[in-house]
Amino acid sequence: MRTLYKPRASQRRKERMVRVWLYVAYTAIIVFFLFPIYWVLSMSLKTVPQLFATPPVWFPIPPQFSNYSYVFENTPILRYLFNSAVIVAATVFFALLIATLAAYGFSRFTFRYKRPSLLAVLAFQMISPVVIAIPLYRTFAALHLLNNYASLVLVYVAVVLPFITWFLKGYFDTIPYEVDEAAIVDGATRWQVLTRIILPVSAPGIATAAILAAVLSWSQFVIPFILIDSPGMFPVSEGLVNLQSNTESITLHYLSAASIVAIAPVIFIFVLLQRYIVSALTSGAIKG
């Protein structure tokens, strides 16, 4: 029977055809997904006549890097990036802190209503932020907390928490409970078990959770759009919409350059860490 599976010439030819078709499929997929990004990148490097040229200028040579310096000097894009960085960093910190505690609680304790509580946490993830943003706007306005980083971070933390908690709970579940038991027998408290044993072992999981929280909060739009109206505090996605609507002051090549600046950090993270992100997303996906 084994000999049947020895690759024969016909099978090798078939295998080569499969590979050729896969390359064809990959090319089509990559063109579809990267062309829009490439096109905006090329627009960001064009002169004004090149923007409207027919046929289009596919490769702007020489590239107008001066468009980028114009954007940096004449729009608040750096300010927006800075705002986003501060908000995202604070969100990641607090979300990880709270999610780690909760994930440990869900992973290491048995209690009544555990499964319903876990599902309730998950259910919050399904709620549209626009639904909660309106009452939050009224409450924050009454408390004079609009245009406030801290209130924004609180909402961001709540939005990313369900996902991060589930992800970390799944990660902690893979660490055998016997490890905890041994430490507790030796006199360690729960807190010591978490900080000295669980956390060091799950460093890769924590790092992935941090990246996912960062990407999620980097993309938030509805919440800052409603809770922030002072332009100096806009995060980057809201700032870009603002630039887009000021069409007199900013034209296509500048808008393109600003968009590229805004997506560069995320794309950079994704390309650099895609292996970890994929394994995180796939393991999270299986566990729901």
Partner 1 sequence: MASQVRAVRGRSWTERLAASPILWLAPLGLVLAATFLYPIVEIIRLSFTNASLTGGNYSYTLGSYARLFGSPYFASMVRVTVIFVFFSVVFQILLGFLIALAVDQGARRGMRASIVTRTAVLSAWAIPGVIIGIIWGILYQESGAGVLNYLAQLLGFGQIPFLSSPRAALASVTVANIWRGTAFSMILLYAGIQTLPADVLEAARVDGANAWQRLRMVVLPLLAPILLVTLVIVSIDTFNTFDMVLALTGGGPGRATEVVALSIYDQIFQQFDLGPGAATAVVLLAINAIMTFVYLRLERPEELS
Q: Which of residues 65-94 bind partner 1 (CB under 8 A)?
A: none
Site for partner 1 in 107-126 (CB under 8 A): 108-111, 114-115, 117, 119, 121-124, 126
Number of helices (H) and strands (E) in the chain: give both, helices first. Answer: 14, 0
CB of 73 to partner 1, least distance (A): 21
CB of 232 to partner 1, least distance (A): 19
For residues 237 and 32, what is the distance between their CA atoms, to the nearest angstrom?
A: 23
Q: What share of the chain is helix, strand, coil (3-state, %, to 5)?
A: 80, 0, 20
Say how many residues touch partner 1, by CB under 8 A: 100
Look up residue 257 and give its two tokens: 């350059």
Q: In degrees rounded to 5, what are phi and psi of residue 76?
A: -80, 30
Rule CB under 8 A: is residue 263 a binding residue for partner 1?
yes
- CB-wise, 53 or 232, nearer to partner 1? 53
Rule CB under 8 A: is residue 20 a binding residue for partner 1?
no
Which of 158, 206, 213, 257 is close enough to bind partner 1 by CB under 8 A?
Answer: 158
Site for partner 1 in 31-50 (CB under 8 A): 32-34, 36-37, 39-40, 43
CB of 269 to partner 1, least distance (A): 8
For residues 95 and 89, what is the distance between their CA atoms, to the nearest angstrom?
A: 10
CB of 148 to partner 1, least distance (A): 14
- CB-wise, 66 or 184, nearer to partner 1? 184
Rule CB under 8 A: is residue 155 a binding residue for partner 1?
yes
Q: DSSP labels for 257-280?
A: HHHHHHHHHHHHHHHHHHHHHHHH
Quick one: 128 exposed, middle or buried, by C-beta within 10 A (0-12, 13-18, 19+)? exposed
Rule CB under 8 A: is residue 179 a binding residue for partner 1?
no
Rule CB under 8 A: is residue 129 a binding residue for partner 1?
yes
Among the listed ranges 64-72, 73-81, 135-143, 196-204, the one in contact with partner 1 (CB under 8 A) is 135-143
For residues 151 and 142, what is the distance between their CA atoms, to the nearest angstrom?
A: 13
Sign for the pseudo-dihedral over CA of 40, 45, 51, 54: negative
